[in-house]
Amino acid sequence: MAVKYNESTELRPDGDRLLDATVVPIDIPDFLNQIKNEPAWENSDRNAMTIYKTDAMRIVLIALHKDAMLKEHTTNGVISVQVLDGAINFTTEGKTHHLTKGKMIALHRNIAHEVSAVKESVFLLTVANFID
C-alpha cells in the first residue's frame, strides 16, 4: 500500500500529516487545537481539516463558530456527522435534527442537507464512497 501524506499549504505550513496508510493514528484533541489556532479560525466562521482520506472514505474535523452555516448541499457519498462538542442543527428533508455532544446522524448519498451551529461546535464528518 502506498503511504499518503497531505501537502503543506500556506495555511498549514507544518501541515504534513499522514492521510492514508495501513494504520493511521488520529489525535482529535491535537488536530482540534491546531485548527483553532490557525488564521482561518480567527478570520472566518469555520475551519476544517481532512484527517483521513482514501478513495473509499474521508474523515474531516470541522469547527464552526456560533451561527456559522454550511448552506444546503449534497454529497456523493454516504455520510455520518458526529458532534464532538457544542450543538448543531442538521436539516434535511424538511426536518431539523438538533445534535449535541455525543449525538450522530447518518445520511445516504445525494440527499440535500444543511448544518448550522447553535453555539461554537466541532464535529467529525465521515464520507464513504462505494467503489464499484
pLDDT in tens, 59-71: 999 999 999 999 9
- Residue 25, pLDDT score: 92
79: pLDDT strictly greater than 70: yes
All domains of the chain, ordered by start, with CATH? 48-132 (2.60.120.10)
Strands (E) across the chain are located at: 4-5, 18-20, 46-53, 57-64, 69-73, 78-85, 87-92, 95-100, 104-107, 113-117, 121-128
Cα separation, 121 vs 47, in Å, equals 11
Q: Which residue has the higher pLDDT, 131 or 11?
A: 131
What predicted TM-score, i.e. pTM, was given to this entire model?
Answer: 0.89
- Residue 91, pLDDT score: 98
Residue 118 phi, psi (nearest 5): -75, -35
17: pLDDT strictly greater than 80: no
What residue type is assigned to position 42 of the chain?
E
What residue type is assigned to position 8 of the chain?
S
